[in-house]
Structure 1
Amino acid sequence: MTQSMSEMPSANRGDAFQEAVATWLSRRVPERAQNQCFDFPAILSTDIGLQREENQDRVAALRLSARHSSQPIIAVVIADGMGGMRDGAKCATLAVSSFFYALVRHRHQGLEQRAAAATAHANDTVFAFANGRGGATLSALLFDEGAPPVIVNLGDSRIYACGKGIKVERLTIDDSLEEAVGGHGRELLQFVGMGPGMQPHIRTVPSGVTELALTTDGIHYIDADTLAKVLFHAPEPKAASERLSALARWCGGHDNASIALIDLKALRTPAVRNHDAGIQVWDPFGTMAITWLRDPGEAPPLQAAAPSETAPLQANPEQRGSDRRDRKGSRRSAKKARQGQSPPKEDVQLEIKIEKSSDVKDGDDDSR
């Protein structure tokens, strides 16, 4: 069921972009889908599986195109809400939407700095909502021109280096008792939403890697050798995604199964990176395009109401008083920023357009 903005933590209500992404990721969707993203070299796929009543996975991609002095960035994120804890689906939604928001907000920093800031903001946002009683795993790729790609991982979602005819290599270690400290069991020592003490694993992608696969445990619970053989022999990423999703079901479909496959070589082409100023977000079910109607530096910030699929974001009357307070706050924050302190929060006026994926699987249009 789609969340209203009143259900989101109050810390999120001030930012139109984060709200828009969170609402969009929470919409009613079919039980499974695959999106071969238009003009973006990635396959995003998710499947509720055969034994779960709700899909608590979220997989999405973001492309921020350059505007003025902003740095372009491409990010692909996969999050798995933690079963048995509070509101796993909502925690995964907040993890992805707040991660994307922080990447946009810190767009003038380097990739590793943005990865750390985005993971910290996601952790804080989910913790503010669930108070440590809920959370999500998170794995992400960050890509920018002129710098080695960066990956970040927290929990037991995974990232693999792969490709047709290429030996598969896992690039991440699970934050589980078994893998992190050599104990027994799959209990997680770290996750998004755990609160203070979180230490994400951030590293650059090894040179020579041409493709990456981001997976939740509904995919990689498959026998490791079998998973590697599928990735090794698949003729192209779409086939690999389809085969792994089907295999997860054939093996019982005990959990939500999500995968993102990214062609790093294609990401480096100008045709993929160079687009008009704005933001695009993909998930397995469709695409959302967000256009800057006003750059944050051109006027005082506005707070915006929730988006619909047919209308751009608009400021509502109840927010006018808070807008005036925000303008005063932004002037004070600007003064602090000039003194070397944190930059002010940047809310912008946005226009949103939504397209549906053409590769949604047939089935009941149930909520996740």
Structure 2
Amino acid sequence: MWSHVKISAGRNEGATVNQELSRRLQFFLERGVSGRSTQSAPGLAIGSLRGPVREDNQDRAAVAYMVSKSGAAALVGVVCDGMGGMAEGGVAATLATSEFLAALVSNLDNLSPPVISVAVRNANDAVYRQLGGNGGTTLTALVALGTGHSWAVHVGDSRLYSVDDTDGLVLLTRDDTIEGVVKGSQADEDSLDSRLLQFIGIGDSIDPHIFPVEGQVRKRFLLTSDGAHSLGRKILEGIFRNTRGAVDAVRRLTYIADATNVADNATAVALSMADFSPVPQFHSGSTLMVWSPSGALEIWLQGGGADSTDSPIKRVASGHPAPKREKSSKPKPRAGSKRNVREKVKDFKEKPKSQRPQLSIKFGGDGSSSDD
């Protein structure tokens, strides 16, 4: 199923590019949610499992490759785990992922820790405005620039790992939980503490962790929701020790999570910068490509580019309704559900240009599989 839009420069009363990007991403992420699905491309894989316990999947994950009009490029992997113990966790995770990515695209030529921090705060503000502090999500991401600079971004208890032949599996983030803060690096990775100290949607007290990550080309990276890393360190290490490709690792992880009846949604993103094939820039504007567990999306931003916040969006063909907000329903209680603690509560190389469509959305395309 395909949809097409045109984004052109100029002034109008229509939505800004940033707002339209967020809406399109929200629709894309909500449309493909299923029981179990994986999507892959060279150097990346993304998979998600609802699991046998939960009635719905409140995890959202994406890999985005973005190129600006000037040629600046970034590869971004992000996992958001909606908080099952609060209202509309899936809504919070979808909104946070979309707002975070849209903000990065809009500031791609100037990506740096302060800009990334603003993107996180934008996501936090959007979730807080919509849910009023009664819903939230984690957000963990890896932002890798074509210049070789990379940063980890972290709020909550989703995780980012690095994997290489020398050090094996290394946990790069620290859970924003009571145990994670009290014990720090001495905290047991296999001991999951549901008492979150902060999350996306908490309000003004948000304090995202953003720090540099070295060796992006020689390492592989894994982002997980807590349902995935609840399998334990030994299993995660075994999966990556016996697989070389990102897609094999993600598929094995989701299959094992399913077979062992994990009590939560389980989502994983695997990235290998050395194996990633950058997408050519086909025109004078900006390009955004996004992979979710069940689909792939491509957007062209023409004319003024992603940072032209007054550029209108003209929809030229679309058979899809506007994204609908999930119906509010009280999720089933589950073991280890997150609780709000209010007190502290590759060098990307450009390839030859050729003509391509301006935007396309493909669900269940090449490289994907799903089982509802």
Write the distance in 1 (CA, Å) between the matches of 2:79 and 2:100: 11
Q: SS at 2:126's partner residue? A: helix
Write the distance in 2 (CA, Å) between the matches of 1:36 and 1:309: 25
Match of 1:272 among 274, 278, 287: 278
**For residues 273 and 359 of structure 1, do their structure 2 counterparts lie closer, same or farther at Cα, with a shift above 3 Å needed?**
closer
Q: TM-score, normalised by structure 2?
A: 0.76
Alignment match, 1:353: 360
8 Å CA contact 2:64–2:77 kept in 1: the answer is yes
Alignment match, 2:78: 77
Alignment match, 1:95: 96
C-alpha deviation, 1:147, in angstroms: 3.7
Structure 1 unpaired stretches of 5+:
1-10, 314-349
8 Å CA contact 1:162–1:210 kept in 2: the answer is yes
Alignment match, 2:272: 263
**For residues 187 and 235 of structure 1, do their structure 2 counterparts lie closer, same or farther at Cα, with a shift above 3 Å needed?**
same
8 Å CA contact 1:59–1:284 kept in 2: the answer is yes
Write the distance in 2 (CA, Å) between the matches of 1:304 and 1:47: 34
Alignment match, 1:143: 144
Structure 1 stretch displaced more, 228-237 or 177-186: 177-186
Alignment match, 2:115: 114
Structure 2 unpaired stretches of 5+:
1-14, 323-356
C-alpha deviation, 1:12, in angstroms: 9.4
Q: Give a deviation string over 1:3-30, Cα, whole Å, max 9, x none.
A: xxxxxxxx99981111110111111543
Write the distance in 2 (CA, Å) between the matches of 1:149 and 1:131: 33
Q: SS at 1:279's partner residue? A: strand
Higher strand share: 2
Q: TM-score, normalised by structure 1?
A: 0.77
Match of 1:196 among 204, 207, 225: 204
Alignment of 1:1-40 (within 5 A): 15-37=19-41, 40=42
Q: Give a deviation string over 1:259-296, Cα, whole Å, max 9, x none.
A: 000002234xxx51643242111111111111123325
Is 1:231 the counterpart of 2:240? The answer is yes
Write the distance in 2 (CA, Å) between the matches of 1:298 and 1:246: 41
Write the distance in 2 (CA, Å) between the matches of 1:234 and 1:363: 22
C-alpha deviation, 1:305, in angstroms: 7.5
8 Å CA contact 1:60–1:283 kept in 2: the answer is yes
| Amino acid paired to 2:135 | G
| Amino acid paired to 2:39 | N
Q: SS at 2:109's partner residue? A: coil
8 Å CA contact 2:105–2:306 kept in 1: the answer is no
Q: Give a deviation string over 1:172-213, Cα, whole Å, max 9, x none.
A: 000011111249942100111111121111111133751000
| Amino acid paired to 2:231 | I
Write the distance in 2 (CA, Å) between the matches of 1:28 and 1:300: 28
Is 1:55 the counterpart of 2:57? The answer is yes
Match of 2:213 among 190, 202, 205: 205
Write the distance in 1 (CA, Å) between the matches of 2:81 and 2:139: 7
- Following TM superposition, the consecutive aligned residue runs of length 4 or more in structure 1 with deviations greater than 3 angstroms are 11-14, 163-166, 182-185, 296-300, 302-311, 358-364
Alignment of 1:269-308 (within 5 A): 271-272=277-278, 274-276=280-282, 277-296=286-305, 301-304=310-313
Q: SS at 2:98's partner residue? A: helix
Write the distance in 2 (CA, Å) between the matches of 1:49 and 1:266: 30
* Alignment root-mean-square deviation, CA: 3.0
C-alpha deviation, 1:133, in angstroms: 1.0
**For residues 296 and 162 of structure 1, do their structure 2 counterparts lie closer, same or farther at Cα, with a shift above 3 Å needed?**
closer
Write the distance in 1 (CA, Å) between the matches of 2:297 and 2:48: 17
8 Å CA contact 2:32–2:294 kept in 1: the answer is no
**For residues 212 and 149 of structure 1, do their structure 2 counterparts lie closer, same or farther at Cα, with a shift above 3 Å needed?**
same
**For residues 133 and 237 of structure 1, do their structure 2 counterparts lie closer, same or farther at Cα, with a shift above 3 Å needed?**
same
Q: Give a deviation string over 1:214-262, Cα, whole Å, max 9, x none.
A: 0001110012222222222223222211211111122213111110000
Q: SS at 1:207's partner residue? A: coil
**For residues 232 and 299 of structure 1, do their structure 2 counterparts lie closer, same or farther at Cα, with a shift above 3 Å needed?**
closer
Alignment match, 1:45: 47
| Amino acid paired to 1:47 | L
Write the distance in 2 (CA, Å) between the matches of 1:27 and 1:154: 25
**For residues 166 and 233 of structure 1, do their structure 2 counterparts lie closer, same or farther at Cα, with a shift above 3 Å needed?**
farther
Write the distance in 2 (CA, Å) between the matches of 1:220 and 1:300: 39
Structure 1 stretch displaced more, 193-202 or 355-364: 355-364
Q: SS at 2:304's partner residue? A: coil
Aligned length: 312
Q: SS at 2:55's partner residue? A: coil
8 Å CA contact 1:309–1:352 kept in 2: the answer is no
Write the distance in 1 (CA, Å) between the matches of 2:307 and 2:81: 38
Higher helix share: 1
Match of 2:225 among 205, 216, 224: 216
Write the distance in 2 (CA, Å) between the matches of 1:278 and 1:89: 27
Q: SS at 2:138's partner residue? A: strand
